[in-house]
Chain A
Amino acid sequence: MFPIISKEILAPTISKFVIHAPLAGKKRKAGNFVIIRVIENGERIPLTIVDSNLAEGTITLIVQAIGKTTKLLCSMNAGDSILDVVGPLGNPTPIENHGSVACVGGGVGTAEMYPITKALKGAGNRVFSIIGGRSKDLVILEEEMRAYSDEVFITTDDGSYGQKGIVTDPLRQLLMNSQSGIKAVYAIGPLPMMKAVSNLTKEFGVHTLVSLNAIMVDGTGMCGGCRVTIDGKMKFACVDGPEFDGHQVDFDELILRNRSYLDFERMANEQLLKEMASSHEVAP
């Protein structure tokens, strides 16, 4: 059992959890993730290790409630426990001093971007960060990102905060501006966003690393469910990734694969809502 030490609501659908999982936290590096199973009947899902505290034996996860498992987790509180946590999984992000880099986070992807941003700053890079969200509510970790960035750009689809538009707008400007001297781009967010970023940076010939959120089961290389096509070759996102060269990723294929279980997910979601509603009814 892995107890939840604390919980903080970052946005209406996004919560931050500090969880006691000393083994997963001990060796984790930026880019690593864990696989968790919340309850006995639950699914195994991957979540990025956003931070860890060696002395306390904790890891930090930031979770967006989008389906049954993430909603269930987000309904839990400090004092509750998660059944299984295994990690750190995946390859750590290659961190080097490129000179200038851009770190692009979209939605909850900003949470996954944060440890990488921190590590890139630590390696001596000049860091330009771009945080995107659909609306003001979904722009997360602004303060945390500012602490490790030389400059931060914020975009919202509806213009409710920062610049109206999408993350590629400020990125294009940065790439066009020779003064920024961007040598590498790191992008994490929804697949269409990472695809757009990769298409843009390809025009400029700037190396781009993206983190692929393939559907996983074991996370140890045993099922092949997380297979993605990179430069025409099959790779397993959990052991060969999760980060890959954005210019080599077949995004369209992954977008399709990630829709494999839509009907099931809808059904599970409806069932959870029903359960939650009925548990409210019995509550005094």
Chain B
Amino acid sequence: MTVLNPLKPSERMKIPRQHSIEQLASDRVQGFTEVSFGVDEERAMIEATRCLECKNAVCVEGCPVGIDIRSFIQLILQKDYAGAVNKIREANYLPAICGRVCPQEEQCEAVCTLGKKHMPVAIGKLERFVADYEMEHNLFTPPVIAERRDEKVAIVGSGPAGLTCAAELAKMGYRVTIFEALHAVGGVLRYGIPEFRLPRKVLDLETDRIRGLGVEIQTNFLVGRTATIDEFFEEWGFSAVFLGTGAGTPNFMGIPGESLPGVYSANEFLTRVNLMKANKFPDFDTPIRMGSNVAVIGGGNTAMDAVRTAKRLGAERAILVYRRSRQEMPARQEEIHHAEEEGIELLLLTNPTRILGNENHTVTGMECQRMELGEPDESGRRKPVPVKGSEFVIPVQIVIEAVGQQPNPIIQATTPGLKTGKRGVVETNEKQGTSRLGVFAGGDLARGGATVILAMRDGKQAAVAIHEYIQSKLRVEENKVIVSTGAEVVGT
């Protein structure tokens, strides 16, 4: 390979990590336009030169889908941006999405050699750069699709797990149909993650490309009710089924006052805005209640998205209430940082105990309790314990709960023999196979709540396993044919 980067490693290490260009916080809270513009070509090139091009590129192991990171960075150095994004696409069919929402700091960038002593290569920003470059310059070339096969595969749910499984199988030539309960495609990418982190234009483009592989997407189809898995096999002629229905059912805290109008699950709040465009009421018909003070309970990505959305809907005070300390917050550092820039208040070591309403049954406040950190619990994080007599009330008109989700029970309840574990999480083996022959599962449904890239990893893995399963079934059938013709020969 020609030397693309004339700099010595020691020189590369001296280059500072490049930052994204971002919209001013005061501007961006006025609307839903994207917070980060990513890096431009110049910064991308500087960032790419930082890469040490390690022989043992550990970053690749850090990537749940094994993107050949070193190679795509080398392609950037050659200014072959289309080549770079196609390199990514060999392992990951949604680069423009992953470049925006993946927690790279916990994956590829966490293990990057450069990160041992310096800041790691901004792999995520490079991924986004090449994906956006391709989009802006219309450089997309559809991948080669293997010869069309006769076998049909049903994919349930159009989140990242389902989309990825569908894309992989379509590339192998299978006839793939995605069944989605909602009227729009994308799962959490559509109804959960707000536009200011993932513009709909990007999502639409990526999903259109999956349709472009020949994947059919049937919206308005709730599997389990509209048709069952058994019917997919018996009546619809599917050879295998992949379940990627996510973990969409929201938990509630179970505190008094939760049924007051003005109390939302984060899912409902985000769905009203992201899917139904309640922020554009009355041009769009779905309403949403707002107030000058909004409290969001929780410390994960969902809570962060809800509180930043509340700010954009006009809340003067948007307060995140979390029972542990900042260190334990599961949300991405970058999101916490963005939230603080936008004026989000963090009320840490605080746990809500009651939601208060007035005689008109509108929310007037939330009673909370101070917490302190005790011994580590089973998650390894220090367990919050209430401080006696520390109750206080924060004046709010809207309360949004983002305290975890679990799988939607419809599929499990309507698919006999499908084994589930704690909280309805579907049990899978290392090949994403379930207890039902021909039925595979992955993503949040099999993990109880994880990330976009892990859902994609499961979808990919399942596609390989489904291919193996269908081929071995075909071989068995072929053998049967041979046996039966053999018998005929004997007979005559």
Interface positions of A (Cβ within 8 A of B):
23-24, 26-27, 37, 41-44, 68-69, 83-89, 217-218, 220-225, 227, 229, 234, 236, 239, 250, 253, 256-257, 259-261, 264-265, 267-268, 271
Contacts and interface: CB of A to CB of B under 8 A. Distances in A.
Given A217-B272, A220-B408, A229-B259, A87 B226 contact: yes
B62 interface: no
A26 B259 CA distance: 35
Nearest to B258: A234
Contacts of A43: 276, 285-286
B221 A41 contact: no
B409 A223 contact: no
Contact of B271 (A88, A222, A227, A250): A222
A69 B285 contact: yes
Contacts of A234: 252, 254, 258-259
A88 B220 CA distance: 10
A231 to B, nearest CB: 14
A215 to B, nearest CB: 9
Interface string B261-280: 11011011001100011000
A197 B86 CA distance: 65
A127 B44 CA distance: 75
Given A229-B259, A239-B408, A271-B282, 7 more contacts: A24-B226, A41-B277, A84-B219, A86-B183, A86-B220, A218-B271, A256-B260
B268 A225 contact: yes
B226 A268 contact: no
B399 to A, nearest CB: 13
Contacts of A236: 249
A257 B408 CA distance: 23
Given A27-B227, A86-B226, A88-B226, A220 B181 contact: yes
B299 interface: no
Interface string B196-224: 00000000000000000000000111100
A267 B408 CA distance: 34
A257 B259 contact: yes
10 contacts: A37-B183, A42-B284, A86-B221, A217-B268, A218-B271, A220-B181, A222-B248, A222-B271, A227-B252, A271-B282
Nearest to A271: B282
Q: Which of B183, B225, B248, B361 has the most CB of A within 10 A?
A: B225
For the residues of A in contact with B, the DSSP-based class is: mixed
B248 A221 contact: yes
A259 B289 CA distance: 12
Nearest to A89: B225
Contacts of A88: 225-226
B410 interface: yes
Contact of A267 (B221, B254, B264, B282): B282
A256 B191 CA distance: 27
B283 interface: yes
A86 B222 contact: yes
B140 interface: no
Nearest to B246: A222
B287 interface: yes
A222 B259 contact: no
A264 B278 CA distance: 11
9 tightest Cβ-Cβ pairs between the two chains A and B: A264-B287, A260-B261, A223-B268, A86-B220, A222-B248, A43-B285, A224-B265, A84-B183, A225-B268
Contacts of A86: 181-183, 220-222, 226
A86 B276 CA distance: 16
Contact of A27 (B183, B226, B262, B264): B226
Contacts of B191: 222
B21 to A, nearest CB: 33
Nearest to A41: B284
Interface in B387-417: 408-410
A222 B222 contact: no
B250 A223 contact: yes
A236 to B, nearest CB: 8
Contact of A227 (B227, B259, B285): B259
Contacts of A217: 268, 271-272, 276, 286
B220 A222 contact: no
B281 interface: yes
B225 A87 contact: yes
Contacts of A23: 220-221, 226-227
B285 A268 contact: yes
Nearest to A254: B259
A43 B286 CA distance: 5
Nearest to A72: B285
Contacts of B410: 220-221, 239
B267 A222 contact: yes
A260 B289 contact: yes
B225 A27 contact: yes
Contacts of A261: 287, 289
Contacts of A253: 259
A220 B222 CA distance: 8
B261 A259 contact: yes
B200 to A, nearest CB: 13
Contact of B268 (A24, A89, A224, A267): A224
A234 B222 CA distance: 23
A160 B261 CA distance: 37
Contacts of A259: 261
A271 to B, nearest CB: 5
Contacts of B361: 256
